[in-house]
């Protein structure tokens, strides 16, 4: 079913938000979901949970075959708890653990493995099948939900994204410098854009929003306005 040929009523009520690291996808998607009473699906958190499982297994990060097997056995779910979205890996709440620098490093090679992407896309489609979902990631508009009601590609200047990420890290007690964060984000962008499978790119029918000089409220309201105008 393509968006062009299907009646609007058959298009799943999905808001797809893609973009590079630090563009504000997660906070924006969470707030849009809250205001519209939608579910929020943070697909990056799912890849992070799997990377944590790979690290715990002691599996080398270049062993694609074993990483693929680990993905087949993994049960990754996102639940809405009283303190926001919780990430559950094989029955354990790993919400806080998946934001560690070790997991952030490991997730890049892990999410490049074909079997990992197949398994995650399957779980993501299942989670979004009933609609009423804001889904964010890198390949949502291009691969996971190409028929989404609306697709947003969220970007911001590298220096602004690094500044926002550094503030988040500092709030969590991390002492990373702006230069370090900028280098890490640039490297993650490069690998996300250049990988063979489901690379980060703007879908042809996605709307580009540059948040560099937008306030948080402005970007949330703009996406809701675009969605309700469809």
- What would the two tokens of residue 200 be? 């980060």
Encoded one letter per residue, x for contact with ligand DC by CB under 6 A and - for no contact, window 21-40 reads x-------------------
Question: Considering the rule CB under 6 A, would residue 111 count as an interface residue with ligand DC?
Answer: yes
| Residue among 182, 192, 206, 220 that touches ligand DC (CB under 6 A) | 192
Instruction: Report helix, strand or coil for 46.
Output: helix
Q: Which stretch binds ligand DC (CB under 6 A): 6-14, 45-53, 75-83, 150-158?
A: 45-53
Q: Give 4 or 196: the residue with its C-beta nearer to ligand DC.
A: 196
Question: Considering the rule CB under 6 A, would residue 43 count as an interface residue with ligand DC?
Answer: yes
| Residue among 24, 41, 48, 164 that touches ligand DC (CB under 6 A) | 48
Question: Considering the rule CB under 6 A, would residue 95 count as an interface residue with ligand DC?
Answer: no
CA distance 180 to 8: 45
Q: Which neighbouring-strand residues pair with 81? A: 84
Q: Which stretch binds ligand DC (CB under 6 A): 67-75, 103-111, 170-178, 202-210?
A: 103-111
CA distance 81 to 25: 20
| Residue among 47, 119, 166, 219 that touches ligand DC (CB under 6 A) | 47
| Residue among 3, 13, 44, 214 that touches ligand DC (CB under 6 A) | 44
Nearest to 92 by CA among 57, 49, 134, 132: 49
Encoded one letter per residue, x for contact with ligand DC by CB under 6 A and - for no contact, window 119-158 reads ------------------xxx-------------------
Question: Considering the rule CB under 6 A, would residue 188 count as an interface residue with ligand DC?
Answer: yes
CA distance 177 to 175: 6
Nearest to 55 by CA among 112, 127, 105, 114: 105
User: What are the E-state strand segments in the chain?
Assistant: 14-18, 39-42, 76-81, 84-89, 92-93, 133-137, 150-155, 207-210
Q: Give 10 or 187: the residue with its C-beta nearer to ligand DC.
A: 187
Residues 2-21 interacting with ligand DC (rule: CB under 6 A): 21
Task: Kindly tell me the burial class for residue 132, based on how many C-beta atoms sit within 10 Å of its own C-beta (0-12, 13-18, 19 or more).
Answer: middle
Residue 156 carries which DSSP code?
-
Residue 140 carries which DSSP code?
I
Q: Which residues bind ligand DC (CB under 6 A)?
A: 21, 43-45, 47-48, 107-108, 111, 137-139, 188, 192
């Amino acid at each position: 079913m393509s968006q062009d040929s299907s009646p609007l009523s058959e298009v799943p009520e999905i808001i797809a938000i893609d973009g590079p690291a630090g563009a504000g996808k997660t906070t924006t998607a969470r707030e849009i979901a809250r205001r519209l009473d939608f579910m929020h699906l943070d697909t990056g958190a799912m890849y992070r949970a799997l990377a944590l499982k790979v690290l715990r297994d002691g599996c080398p990060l270049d062993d694609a075959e074993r990483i693929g097997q680990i993905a087949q056995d993994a049960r990754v779910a996102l639940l809405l708890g009283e303190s926001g979205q919780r990430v559950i890996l094989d029955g354990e709440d790993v919400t806080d653990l998946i934001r560690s620098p070790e997991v952030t490093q490991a997730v890049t090679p892990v999410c490049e493995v074909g079997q990992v992407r197949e398994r995650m896309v399957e779980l993501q489609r299942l989670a979004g099948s009933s609609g009423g979902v804001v889904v964010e990631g890198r390949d949502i508009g291009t691969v996971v939900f190409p028929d989404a009601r609306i697709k947003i590609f969220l970007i911001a200047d590298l220096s602004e994204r690094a500044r926002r990420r550094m503030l988040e890290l500092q709030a969590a007690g991390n002492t990373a410098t702006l230069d370090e964060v900028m280098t890490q984000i640039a490297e993650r962008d490069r690998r996300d854009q250049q990988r063979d499978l489901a690379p980060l790119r703007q879908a042809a029918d996605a709307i580009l929003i540059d948040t560099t000089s937008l306030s948080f409220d402005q970007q949330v309201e703009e996406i809701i306005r675009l969605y309700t105008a469809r």
